[in-house]
Amino acid sequence: MVLNTKQTTVAYRCPHCGAGIMSAVGLFALSADMVKLKCTCQKSEMSIVYSKDGKVRLSVPCMFCPKPHTFTVNSSLFFEKELFSLPCPYSDFNIAHFGEINQVKNELARGELALMDWMEKNGLETSDLLGEQKEDLTDPQIRDIVMFVINDLDAEGKIFCKCSVTDNERAYDAEIEEDGIRVSCRKCAASTLIPTDSRLGAHAFLNSDALYLE
CA distances from 104 to 8, 10, 80 (A): 10, 7, 13
Give the mean pLDDT of 58-65: 89
- Residue 30 in contact with residue 117, Cβ under 8 Å? no
pLDDT of residue 124: 60
Q: What percent of the chain has pLDDT over 90?
A: 13
103: buried, middle or exposed (CB in 10 Å: 19+, 13-18, 0-12)?
middle
Q: What percent of the chain has pLDDT over 70?
A: 78
Residue 68, Cβ neighbours under 10 Å: how many?
A: 18
Residue 184, Cβ neighbours under 10 Å: how many?
A: 18
Between 137 and 183, the more confident residue is 183
- Residue 182 in contact with residue 122, Cβ under 8 Å? no
pLDDT of residue 60: 93
CA distances from 140 to 29, 152, 175, 180 (A): 31, 18, 14, 11
Confidence tier at 188 by pLDDT (50, 70, 90): confident
Q: What is the DSSP letter of 136?
A: P
Closest CA relative to residue 96, chosen from 42, 134, 28, 44: 44
pLDDT of residue 6: 77
> Please, which residues have CB within 8 angstroms of residue 12's CB and are 6 or more apart in sequence?
20, 21, 37, 46, 60, 61, 95, 96, 97
Statement: residue 203 has pLDDT above 70: no
pLDDT of residue 32: 57
Between 1 and 126, the more confident residue is 126
pLDDT digits (tens, 9 = 90+) for 66-105: 889 999 998 888 888 999 999 888 887 899 999 998 889 8
- Residue 15 in contact with residue 109, Cβ under 8 Å? no
The residue type of 198 is S
Closest CA relative to residue 195, chosen from 157, 146, 150, 140: 146
- Residue 202 in contact with residue 149, Cβ under 8 Å? no
Give one DSSP letter per residue of 163-189, joined into a string. S-TT-TT--EEEEEETTEEEEEETTT-
pLDDT of residue 200: 61
Statement: residue 1 has pLDDT above 50: no
Give the mean pLDDT of 144-153: 78
Helix (H, G, I), strand (E, B) or coil at 208: coil
Give the mean pLDDT of 125-151: 59
> Please, which residues have CB within 8 angstroms of residue 136's CB and are 6 or more apart in sequence?
199
Domain ranges of the chain: 7-129, 139-212
Between 145 and 78, the more confident residue is 78
